[in-house]
Amino acid sequence: MVAQEYTQTTAIQNRVIPSAMRGMDIIAASKSGTGKTAAFVLPMLNKLQKIVKDENKVVRALIIVPTIELADQVSRTVVSLGKHLTLKSVKVQGGSHKSGQIERLSNGVDIVIATPGRLQDFIRDRKIKLDNVNTIILDEADTMLELGFLEEIKFILKECGKPRQIMMFSATISQNIKKLGKEFLREPSIVEVSNRRDVVNIIAHRAYKIDKKRKEELVHTLTKEYPKTQMLLFANTKTSANKIYDYLLAKGVRVSIIHGDIKRGDRAKSLSLLKNDKTQVLVATDVAARGIDIKELPLVINYDLPETTDSFTHRVGRTGRANNKGGVITLLTIRDYINFSKIEKDLKLNIKREVHKDFELTDTQPRQKRPTKKTLREKKGYIDYDKKRKYTYAAQRKKREEKKTEKERRQKGK
């Protein structure tokens, strides 16, 4: 571990490794950047080195990931941690020629790191057999389900041998994760070492309200205000990503881009440019950014606000990794206010909405309710807020009845 610059185990490693070493099935939730990959790679390598024979290479361990970037990252970890072992691994993923992968498989391998679609193709074409697989790892399982890979995963799991150990890792343990675990796992150990709040709690947050037509200008201004700061900018769609990329490029900003339509080699080059400090801004969509691991990335920009809290959490998790400082800037148009408030509520955040000094708002802002001042009794909790309106109506009715009674009494007195 020391040779790989590990000086102490992380929380997820402390919780997962003992159960994994005992051969238990596991469902684990942990944020990115906490040593999660090593938590499943180390016990897997320990298990395989005891049973694998050099003269009989068959696939015994399978790691399934959602994207080619994450496949690359996991593969590097497997090679690095297993460099003193005789185990062989291969990546089976889209974005690369099938012929090269098939050739490496035919030479015999022990571990396969795969994306679901390409692996399913290989199984159907009989290019790979999983009969001897006894260890299966689903990394970022929640993402694979979000991307619609449920049927592929079920197909693959049914092709694997039995008995087998299955470990599922995700950012959160959702109902879909539980449902998949119930179908395929045997009395799994449930491990949760963080929640969505933990991911965002140590990050410095800012939010700028901005007119929709001036979002690109504001990003350009931010690149000038933070000239030595590397930024990972998230867009919701490939169209939006291309638009901001073209704009920044025309302004002379050192910018690169990755999304689903960018070729694998170009995506790898864009990521390498950012890691080597040769580009200032990397524009990315959520799917393409899965697996991006930049330990000291200082700033994430939400150019488009994500639709879900989990997506927001994933983006935020690209910065502030391994206890390094990190920051997030979110751009908000009038259409984003309600959704951003929901994300804040989910994560128990309270982020001040600012207006940049050079970007006064001209878009018509939604009317906001004027806050009502609480009475002393309300502040002390004597009034049930859910019944406050009912109490008010009752008080008004009682007052009207008293006035009516007083009026009738006076009339009789005359």
- Confidence class of residue 297 from pLDDT cuts 50, 70 and 90? confident
Query: What local confidence, expressed as pLDDT, does residue 400 receive?
Result: 80
Contact 180, 168 (CB under 8 A): yes
Low-confidence winner among 33-42, 306-315, 371-380 (lowest mean pLDDT): 371-380
**Residue ranges of the domains in the chain?**
2-194, 198-354, 372-402
Q: What is the 3-state secondary structure (H, E, C) of 54-122?
A: CCECCCCEEEECCCHHHHHHHHHHHHHHCCCCCCCEEEECCCCCHHHHHHHHHCCCCEEEECHHHHHHH
CATH assignment of 2-194, among 3.40.50.300, 3.30.300.90, 3.20.20.100, 3.40.50.2000: 3.40.50.300
CA 161 to chain centre: 31
Does this chain's domain 2-194 share its CATH topology with 198-354?
A: yes
**Contacts of the segment 255-258: beta carbons below 8 A, 24+ positions apart:** 255/279, 255/280, 255/281, 255/282, 255/283, 256/281, 256/282, 256/283, 257/282, 257/283, 257/284, 258/69, 258/282, 258/283, 258/284, 258/285, 258/288, 258/289
Compute and round to an integer the Cα radius of gyration of the chain: 28
**Token digits for 107?**
């030479």
Does the pLDDT of residue 200 top 90, yes or no?
A: no
The dihedrals phi and psi of 336, each to the nearest 5 degrees, come to -95, -10
Residue 359: what residue type? F
CATH number belonging to domain 198-354: 3.40.50.300
Question: What is the average pLDDT value for the chain, to the nearest integer?
Answer: 85
Most confident of 26-40, 60-74, 278-292: 60-74
pLDDT exceeds 80 at position 282? yes
pLDDT of residue 136: 97
pLDDT for residue 322 is more than 70: no
The reported pLDDT for the residue numbered 385 is 47
Sign of CA dihedral 261, 265, 268, 273: negative
Is the pLDDT at 152 greater than 50? The verdict is yes
Q: How many other C-beta atoms lie within 10 A of the C-beta of residue 108?
A: 14
The string of pLDDT tens digits covering residues 324-356 is: 678 999 999 999 999 999 999 988 888 999 999
Q: Helix H segments across 317-360?
A: 337-347
On the question of pLDDT at 276 being above 60, the answer is yes
CA atoms in the 13 A half-sphere facing the CB of 395: 6
Residues 351-382 pLDDT 10s: 999 999 999 999 888 876 555 666 655 555 55
> Cα–Cα distance between 32 and 322 in angstroms, integer?
9
Asked if pLDDT for residue 232 goes beyond 90, the answer is yes
What span, in angstroms and rounded, lies between the C-alpha atoms of 350 and 344?
A: 6
Q: Stretch 83-105: mean pLDDT, rounded?
A: 91
Please give the pLDDT value at position 194: 61
Question: Is the separation of the CB atoms in 324 and 103 below 8 Å?
Answer: no
Lowest mean pLDDT: which of 218-227, 380-389, 390-399? 380-389
